[in-house]
Amino acid sequence: MLFPRITPCLLIRNNGLVKTVKFKPFKYIGDPINAVKIFNEKEADELIVLDIDASAKGLEPDFSLIKKLAAECQMPLCYGGGIKTLEHATRIIKLGVEKVAISSAFIENPNLLIEIITEIGSQSGVVILDVKKTILGKYEVYVNNGNTSTGQSPIDLAQKAEKFGAGEVVINSIDNDGVMGGYDLSLASKVRKAVDIPISFLGGAGNLNHMGELIKLCGVVGVASGSFFVFKGSLRAVLINYPSYSDKSKLIKDSLNIS
Amino acid sequence: MITVIDYGLGNVQAFANVYKRLDIPVNVAKSLDDLAETTKIILPGVGSFDRAMQQFNSCGMRKLIEQLVLEEGIPILGVCVGMQMLANSSEEGKLSGLGWVDGNVKRFDGASMLQTQNLPHMGWNNVVTKTEGDLFKGINVENKFYFLHSFHFDCCNKSNIIGVTDYGFNFTSAIKKKNIFGVQFHPEKSHHYGGQLLKNYSEI
């Protein structure tokens, strides 16, 4: 059977690894290549790397860094940040990355996704949606590092991504980012029901129980997190970590109720 | 020498890195000269079927690889789209496949599944092997491999199937015809057991 994926998500800024809370302050975590090496040793299921500078500053993807990451990474890698053209996407795939993620570029020009997947295949085209809850309790997708609302609902955009051929949608909760208090399960449930492609949820995991709650609710799903994999303890000391094989198996089997 | 074919698609470096870690001689072939010392070939692939065929047809190495594999019996391992390229055709594209293993690549059909599943098939899944030894030596059914695909190889000759994976139904995830091997999953990205499979391939 197919298993849920437990996926660390690393944020890159100025060539370094950082972690945000609600998308805002940046805490320096360390060197991205070093982090990839540790996740190799821990045999992580897959890895998402997002360059949070690139799109916001209108920069191109940092191809030399991507090349180094892809060469080092022994698990499947999804890369996002600054991808605005078909050429960007194909070049990244050629560097040895399995999946490329677009966000604002998809919202501005959904046809770009069709162009990309025609070239690299549907399975490698990922759409990331950064989602924030308005004061009225409505979910909206944001761009520009969480600063600008598109006014569009994550359900509509996830369905649009599916219709345009995305292989996966990553739902990133801005409100829960770095808070480590659990996933936004109401958002997760709504999006899971709306599309039939794989989904990963990001934002909120602080412990294995939080991950278990998401798996119980959504079944075979991508369980992504930043803080959980880079911090240890209540004081948030930087320590790259990943659940052991037996802890991960137990978590998944208990959550899916299989023996 | 294991040779990974670099025709502009697929994670060539990942294969080379695994073999370097295992201390098994490996090289990457970008042109004919790089195939001089090859005793085993790996044909990787990420992307759409037509794109992969187009790149392979125009990379300048197809003829020699064909001769090495079909006439001299040098083993080849197709990975993901590289496995699909071994087929006669694919529903994903219009170009002909290599036709080295009789079969056609088909889209996962939700209607034929016992239970609806998300598509593409993405993540870690088991492979039930039908033969002892060879590629899957030291690997058991509990061990998982990473899959990332929307299409699967439909073998005409069932004796070419050496592994199946359950995703709504049992689809063919590993094939073998004499010296020609194919796996739908990514051993180069499947940690420990992927490394074991690549090591096994080197010892065939």
CB A122 to CB B118 under 8 A? no
- Using CA atoms, how far apart are residues B45 and A128, in angstroms rounded to an integer? 24
Inter-residue contact A143 to A104 (CB < 8 Å)? yes
Cβ of A2 within 8 Å of Cβ of B14? The answer is no
Q: Which residues of B touch A161 (CB under 8 A)?
A: none
Average of per-residue pLDDT across B85-101: 97
The predicted pLDDT at position A182 comes to: 98
pLDDT in tens, B188-204: 999 989 999 999 999 99
Position with higher pLDDT, A180 vs B143: A180
- DSSP states along A151-200: ---HHHHHHHHHHTT-SEEEEEETTTTTT-S---HHHHHHHHHH-SS-EE
| Contact residues, chain B, for A86 at CB < 8 Å | none
Alpha helix (H) ranges present in B22-158? 49-57, 62-66, 81-84
Closest-CA distance, A119 to chain B, in angstroms, reads 6
Give percent of chain A above pLDDT 70: 100
Using pLDDT thresholds of 50, 70 and 90, give the confidence band for residue A62. very high
User: DSSP alpha helices (H): ranges in A95-144?
Assistant: 104-108, 111-120
Q: Of B173, B183, B29, nearest to B108 (Cα)?
A: B173
pLDDT in tens, A213-229: 999 999 999 999 999 99
Count CB-CB contacts under 10 A for residue A24: 12
The answer to whether the CB atoms of B119 and A196 lie below 8 A apart is: yes
Q: What was the pLDDT predicted at B10?
A: 76
pLDDT for B115 beyond 80 = no
Contact A129, A177 (CB under 8 A): no
Distance from CA of B120 to the nearest CA of A (A): 6
Q: How far off is chain A from B190, nearest CA to CA, in Å?
A: 6
Q: Where in the sequence numbering do the catalytic residues of B fall? A: 80, 186, 188
Residue B175 C-alpha, separation from nearest chain A C-alpha, in angstroms: 20
Better pLDDT: A14 or A61: A61
**Range B4-22 average pLDDT:** 90
Identify the pLDDT of residue A189.
Answer: 97
- If you count DSSP H runs as helices and E runs as strands, how many of each does chain B have, helices first? 5, 13
Tell me the per-residue pLDDT of A82-124, one tens digit each, with 9 for 90 and over.
Answer: 999 999 999 999 888 999 999 999 999 999 999 999 989 999 9
Q: How far apart are CA A145 and CA B39, in angstroms?
A: 50
Does B189 contact A94 at a Cβ distance shorter than 8 Å? no
Please answer yes or no on whether A98 and B122 come within 8 Å at the CB atom: no
Q: Contact, B131 vs B91, CB < 8 A?
A: no
For chains A and B, CB pairs below 8 A equal: 109
Residues on chain A touching B118 (C-beta within 8 angstroms): 196-199, 220
**A147-156 as b/e: b if 16+ CB within 10 A:** eeebebbbbe
Domain assignment of residue B88, given as a range: 2-203
* Tokens, residue A6: 């437990």
Model confidence at B131, in pLDDT bands (50, 70, 90)? Answer: confident
Nearest CB among B48, B92, B124 relative to A119 is that of: B48
- Sequential DSSP letters for A58-75: TPPP-HHHHHHHHHH--S
Q: Which residue has the higher pLDDT, B85 or B9?
A: B85
Ordered domains of chain A (ranges, CATH): 5-256 (3.20.20.70)
Say whether pLDDT at B137 is over 90. Answer: yes
Sign of CA dihedral B85, B91, B95, B96: positive
Average pLDDT over residues B56-72: 98
Q: Is a pLDDT exceeding 90 seen at residue A22?
A: yes
- DSSP string of A24-65? --EEEEE-HHHHHHHHHHTT-S-EEEEEHHHHHHTPPP-HHH
Predicted pLDDT at A184: 98
A45 included as an active-site residue: no
The overall average pLDDT reported for chain B is 94
Name residues 2-41 of chain B within 8 A of A (Cβ). Answer: 8-14, 17-18
Cβ proximity of B174 and B162 under 8 Å: yes
With CB atoms and an 8 Å threshold, state whether A198 touches B122.
yes
Alpha-carbon distance values, A253 to A245, B40, B142, B185 (Å) = 12, 39, 13, 23
Structure confidence by residue, pLDDT tens digits, A113-140? 999 999 899 999 999 999 999 999 999 9
Nearest in space to A61 (alpha carbons), one of A53, A72, A69, A71 = A53
Does residue B132 carry a pLDDT above 90? no
Contact A119 B47 (CB under 8 A): yes
Asked whether the CA dihedral A43, A47, A49, A50 is positive or negative, the reply is negative
The secondary element (H helix, E strand) that includes residue B47 is none
**pLDDT of B78 strictly over 80:** yes
- pLDDT greater than 70 at residue B133: no
In contact, A26 and A18? CB cutoff 8 Å = yes
pLDDT for residue B120: 95
| Count of structural domains within chain B | 1
In chain B, residues with a C-beta closer than 8 Å to the C-beta of A4 are 123
CB B194 within 8 A of CB B186: yes
State the CATH number of the domain containing residue B60: 3.40.50.880
CB contact under 8 A, B186 and A76: yes
Query: What contacts A193, CB < 8 A, 6 or more positions away?
Result: none
pLDDT band at residue A153, thresholds of 50, 70 and 90? very high
In angstroms, what separates the C-alpha of A8 from chain B's closest C-alpha?
14
| A76 to chain B: closest CA residue | B189
Task: Give the chain B residue whose CA is nearest to the CA of A5.
Answer: B123
pLDDT band at B141 (very low <50, low <70, confident <90, very high): confident
Catalytic annotation, pick one of A130, A156, A247, A254: A130
Does the model's pTM come out above 0.90?
A: yes
